[in-house]
Structure 1
Amino acid sequence: MSFSFSRTTSVYGGAGGQGTRISSSSSPRGFNPADFLDPSADEKTTMQNLNNRLASYLEKVRSLEKANADLDQKIREWYESRPDVTFDHTIFLETIKDLRNEIQLASQDNAALILSADNAKLAADDFKLKYENELAMRRPIEADTSNLRKILDDFSLSRSDLEINIENLNEELIILRRNHEEEMSLARGEAGGQVNVCVDAAPSMDLMQAMTEIRQHYETVTEKNRKELESWYETKTATVQQEVVTQNEDLQNSRTELKELTNTLQRLQIELQTQQSMRSHLDGELEETQARYGDQLARLQVTVTSLEEQLSQFHANIANNKREYETLLDVKTRLEHEIAEYRRLLDGNEREAHSK
């Protein structure tokens, strides 16, 4: 009988959670159960070979059981060294959920900051438009004020000219009165000389009457001119004063309106500067928030990627351990089948020996 059987077994224990691997290969060569039933074979030699082969198989079984025990011990040690590694993925799911909530809150804060910046920009544009409108309204009012000042200056010059004319007319009136008095004195002197020369002359009465009429005429004309001049002066003065009052009121109103517009312009400028400062502040906060949350998101993404890699490696280790365990079970099953076959052959040989 020719019988040969070779089997190689290797045990490799990984470290750091990389798993434990057992590889086994068998290659039967020249094994045939009919050899044990051949009546021409030497029974002692057959039994010796069978015993040797059974002893070898039992040794290999013990070696595999020891390797399996070592593997179980290494698996237990690996789990004991990594107590946080478990099949419960709840902690990873909770962490991912928290990270997603943080990302969502960061996105909401970012959107709120962008909305605030946009509102501040719109408010700044509105104030800028109001400022431009107020500035456009201020320019024609300043032009009107300048024109009113020129008109007021013209009225002041006209008033000065009228006052000078009134003074000149008063001086002319005084001169006329003086001349009239001198003429009247001269006329009285001439009339007196005639009376002294011609006492009983009748025409002297007519001369006195004529002088009286002339005097009355001049006095009437003078009084009329004086009254007309005074009336003209009073009318012109009243007109000028009324115009001056009106212009002063218009000027005062213009000044008040210009002051209000100036105050409004200053207020709008202050509000514009405030809005611009607020916008700059919000832009800075937005950039800072984007940078901060960008860094946080990057770190969180790295953490999530690391956790996913660890989870994938953990699943791979579990699958590898499962495959190795199945390999061991397969080896154990095949060995049990071979041992049962040997026992069956031994029982057959014993029955055949007893029958002989």
Structure 2
Amino acid sequence: MTSCSYPQSSSTSSFGGLGGGSVHFGPGVAFRAPSIHAGSGGRGVSLSSARFVYSSSSGGCGGGYGCILAASNGLLAGNEKLNMQNLNDRLACYLDKVRVLEAANRELEVKIRDWYHKQGPGPSRDYSHYYKTIQDLRDKILGATIDNSRIFETEQSLCMSLEADINGLHRVLDELTLARTDLEMQIEGLKEELAYLKKSHEEELSVLRGQAGGQVSVDMGSAPGTDLAKILSDIQSQYEVMAEQNRKDAEAWFISRTEELNREVAGHREQLQKSNTEVSDLRRTLQGLEIELQSQLNMKAVLEGTLAETEARFGAELAEIQARISGIEAQLGDMRANSEQQNQEYQRLLDVKSRLEQEIATYRSLLEDQENRYNNLSASKVL
């Protein structure tokens, strides 16, 4: 901003005329102060306004009213000229300051409008469909969790029931094994008993045969008596019939007992095979349920990971948007502070302008008084 220095004067006498001057602000730019120009006959005084003159050289003294008065009559004192020149310089400097500040204010307003146009909040993004997607995922995860819990409870109860059935089948299998062992021991005992009976029967037959042979030999040497051979043959036939009957009875009992045991073993074997088949089916079912449970748990983990990733991503985006909003609010606060400062500067310039208008009014009244004095002096000289 251009700074101006003013020569001070302590004179309080009436003001004289003022010639046009110029104040330079930089290369090629000059501000011409307002000046008073008189006509050729000394009448028709006009007040020119301040204006910028762009040239490489400074403007000199124009055909000012003060210069005409000083050259013709020499009525104006030096202090009055200095006071008028001081007012002229101050007016030029104030007007220059007003124009520079107005230009700076316009430039700042343009920058503010551009900044608001560029940095202003864009169209708000609609995240409702993302929230809907997140809510759907949460509902799916909740439903999957409930289904998994229900499936887990069902499979756990089924597994416990299967384990109880398996334990019961193990007990039945143990009982069947013990019964089979007992039956096999009974079969072995019956076989031993049958062998013992056969051996006893053969021994009895051999003893009876020996006894019959001895009696025949004795009877042959003795006197003829009753027919012992016939008696022995009858006894032998009776023993053979009894032995055969005992053998048949024992064999029939053994066969019936063996068949009964075989039927029991076959029944237990079928039951055992059926139990083994049921255990195998239950194991396969348990493995399938465990595989399904593991797949459901994996799906739950994947959905939870997807939910966590989605929440993290949208949380980061929301944090970024919040940071941008905070930055824009900070910039808006700075712009408001700058606007307040510019407003205060503008108010100060308005005060300066009002004071300048008052000084211009005073300046105009002084010029009018000076013109009246000049007219009175001219009229007195004519008289």
TM-score by length of 2: 0.61
For 1:203 and 1:337, the matched residues in 2 are separated by: 192
Among candidates 184, 193, 199, match of residue 178 of structure 1 = 199
2:111 is matched with 85
1:11 is matched with none
Residue 302 (1) aligns with residue 326 (2): yes
1:148 is matched with 169
Deviations 1:103-141 (A, max 9, x none): x65x87588567646754653564355334423322332
1:138 is matched with 159
Structure 1 position 242, deviation (Å): 1.8
For 2:355 and 2:109, the matched residues in 1 are separated by: 31
State the identity %. Answer: 17
Structure 1 range deviating more: 114-123 or 304-313: 114-123
The question of whether the paired residues in 2 share the 8 Å contact of 1:191 and 1:207 is answered with yes
For 2:363 and 2:102, the matched residues in 1 are separated by: 29
For 2:250 and 2:303, the matched residues in 1 are separated by: 76
The question of whether the paired residues in 2 share the 8 Å contact of 1:187 and 1:211 is answered with yes
Residue 65 (1) aligns with residue 92 (2): yes
Where do 1:92-107 residues align within 5 Å? 95-97=120-122, 100-101=124-125, 105=127
Where do 1:171-250 residues align within 5 Å? 171-192=192-213, 197=219, 201=226, 205=230, 208-250=233-275
The question of whether the paired residues in 2 share the 8 Å contact of 1:135 and 1:265 is answered with no
Among candidates 152, 176, 187, match of residue 166 of structure 1 = 187
In structure 2, relative to structure 1, the CA distance for the partners of 1:125 and 1:159 (3 Å cut) is: same
Deviations 1:307-338 (A, max 9, x none): 21233134324533543454355345445544
Structure 1 position 71, deviation (Å): 3.3
In structure 2, relative to structure 1, the CA distance for the partners of 1:211 and 1:130 (3 Å cut) is: same
Structure 1 position 230, deviation (Å): 1.0
Structure 1 position 266, deviation (Å): 5.2
The question of whether the paired residues in 2 share the 8 Å contact of 1:127 and 1:268 is answered with yes
Q: List gaps (5 residues or longer) in structure 1.
A: 6-47
In structure 2, relative to structure 1, the CA distance for the partners of 1:326 and 1:218 (3 Å cut) is: same
2:347 is matched with 323
Structure 1 position 74, deviation (Å): 4.7
1:15 is matched with none
Deviations 1:50-105 (A, max 9, x none): 9987984675255223322133235536766x69714356425x63226x53xx65
The question of whether the paired residues in 2 share the 8 Å contact of 1:127 and 1:272 is answered with yes
**Bigger relative contact order, structure 1 or 2 (CA pairs below 8 A, ≥6 apart):** 1
The one-letter code matched in structure 2 to 1:160 is T
Give the root-mean-square deviation of aligned CA atoms: 4.5
TM-score by length of 1: 0.65
- SS at the partner of 1:97? coil
The question of whether the paired residues in 2 share the 8 Å contact of 1:124 and 1:276 is answered with no
The question of whether the paired residues in 1 share the 8 Å contact of 2:13 and 2:80 is answered with no
The question of whether the paired residues in 2 share the 8 Å contact of 1:131 and 1:265 is answered with no
1:36 is matched with none
For 1:55 and 1:337, the matched residues in 2 are separated by: 19
The question of whether the paired residues in 2 share the 8 Å contact of 1:61 and 1:335 is answered with no
Where do 1:37-76 residues align within 5 Å? 56=83, 59-76=86-103
For 1:331 and 1:83, the matched residues in 2 are separated by: 25
- SS at the partner of 2:244? helix
Structure 1 position 163, deviation (Å): 1.7
The question of whether the paired residues in 2 share the 8 Å contact of 1:120 and 1:279 is answered with yes
Q: List gaps (5 residues or longer) in structure 2.
A: 1-11, 15-74
Structure 1 position 206, deviation (Å): 5.6
Structure 1 position 287, deviation (Å): 4.9
